Amino acid sequence: MDTTVPRTSRMSLSSIFLLLAVLTLLGVAAHFWWDNALAYFANYNETGYRRYWPNRIWLIAHIAGGTLALALGPIQFWSGFKLRWPRAHRLLGYAYALGILAGGGAAFVLAVRARLPDFGFSLFFLGVAWWVTLGMALVAIRNRRFDAHRDWMIRSYIVTFGFVTFRYVVELELLNGLGRSKYAAIGWACWVLPLLFAEIFLHWRNVAPRKREVAA
Ligand code: HEM
């Protein structure tokens, strides 16, 4: 009996998996945005901004850029979209990059002015990772290294998602034992650990058992 899975059904399973992953990312990003970012656009006053009021211009530039990157990232991974509308994929790619350039530039200022210096230090380097991963993705696509571009875009979006991850993890009572250093510790862990797991995923084929070569 032939037990091989037809190629078309294997493809559609992976597409469904990717679609679910993209929808989950978009859902979590939208929830974060609704809960944390929207208020800064809706209440433009000193009470709404609290301690951020003196840095409001930087915060607005940061949130606007971050919103763009957060929303556009998942669409860029959708291969059907990329194949059908390559021009739109390129345009959204530029918009994603613009979001990170603006959001990252403003993040450096906010990080340096953060109330807790060790927390600001961790976010400053999250900003560095934001720019570096994007830079590598752009260099790769400029040199038409498509696989490398995809891999660096995966890293770039993981870093984009870092602050979202931070927001959810910092709420965990389980970590209250860390005391005041909780913010800095999670400020590092929220992007370093996901990047580490991404490396395992991206390089798994290099450590997996070799496929037996067919004798000529
Ligand atoms: C991934 C790189 C990012 C870095 C390095 C970063 C950095 C920062 C810094 C330094 C602050 C000020 C923290 C403080 O003083 O307490 C901040 C606040 C904030 N960021 Fe980001 N951020 C990043 C991504 C994002 C993204 C993608 C969004 C999505 C819109 C975002 C939305 C916000 C919001 C809403 C605040 C205000 C604080 C709050 O109410 O949660 N950030 N960020």
Residue 40 lies in a domain: yes
Distance CA 187, CA 169 (A): 10
pLDDT of residue 18: 77
Residue 24 lies in a domain: yes
Nearest protein Cα to ligand 1, atom 35: 37
Q: Is 155 in the pocket of ligand 1 (CB under 6 A)?
A: no
| 89-109 pLDDT per residue, tens | 999 999 999 999 999 999 999
Q: Which two tokens stand for residue 215?
A: 């004798």
Residue 214 lies in a domain: no
Q: Which two tokens stand for residue 72?
A: 């556009």
Average pLDDT over residues 192-210: 93
Nearest CA among 198, 115, 102, 113 for reference residue 159? 198
Residue 213 lies in a domain: no
Q: Which two tokens stand for residue 14?
A: 């992976």
CB 111 within 8 A of CB 127: yes
81: three-class secondary structure by DSSP: helix
Q: How far does residue 64's CA lie from ligand 1's centre (Å)?
A: 10
Q: How many domains does the chain have?
A: 1
Average pLDDT over residues 104-118: 98
Residue 212 lies in a domain: no
Residue 3 lies in a domain: no
- Give the range of the structural domain holding residue 26, as residue numbers without chain letter: 10-202
Residue 15 has pLDDT above 90, yes or no: no
- Among 123, 125, 155, 165, the mutation site with the greatest number of ligand 1 atoms within 8 A of its Cβ is 123
pLDDT of residue 210: 86
| 64-83 pLDDT per residue, tens | 999 999 999 989 988 888 99
* DSSP state letters, 49-97: HGGGGGGHHHHHHHHHHHHHHHHHHHHHH-HHHHHH-HHHHHHHHHHHH
CB 81 within 8 A of CB 88: yes
Residue 158 lies in a domain: yes
pLDDT of residue 203: 94
Half-sphere exposure of 70 (CA within 13 A, CB side): 25
Nearest protein Cα to ligand 1, atom 20: 63
